[in-house]
Amino acid sequence: MAEQVEVDVLGTGFDAMGTLAQRMGIEIVEASAARVVGTMPVDGNTQPLGLLHGGASCVLAETLGSIAATLHATEIGVGIAVGVEINATHHRAARAGTVTGVATPAHRGGSLATYEIVITDDEDRRVCTARLTCMLRRTA
């Protein structure tokens, strides 16, 4: 497993106790405005049939895309990013192991940023493709 990267977006302490990402076991292994990579265990994030829950895939996607969008917002001097739309297509089931998400930009503007997030299983098979759009906001 890759070493976890500490990501402190605008001093918010992304890895702080009590966050949803932490509860789901999400670990960030690479982070920049151009690419964010993270992993999440399937175990503990399943639906009653023992398959990775689609909502868990969306949490991973939104976490990675939001980090990337916030890093972009910081780079251009805007401030923060807040999610306004997410969609996901679930291609196949994951039953065990770890899934890996990679967020890359589809659009990085001054008021909106959109990221595509591809989630794969341990065998590098695509589990989910998501798209997240974030509104970029100035901090107070």
Catalytic annotation, residues: 62
Q: Minimal CA–CA distance to 137: which of 6, 10, 8? A: 10
Give me the residue label for tokens 């702080």. 16
CA–CA gap between residue 130 and residue 136 (Å, rounded): 19
Q: How far is CA 59 from CA 15, 54, 74, 75, in A?
A: 15, 9, 22, 24
Picking from 62, 133, 126, the residue whose alpha carbon sits closest to that of residue 94 is 126
Token output for 39:
């992993």
> Please, are residues 131 and 104 in contact by the beta-carbon 8 Å criterion?
no
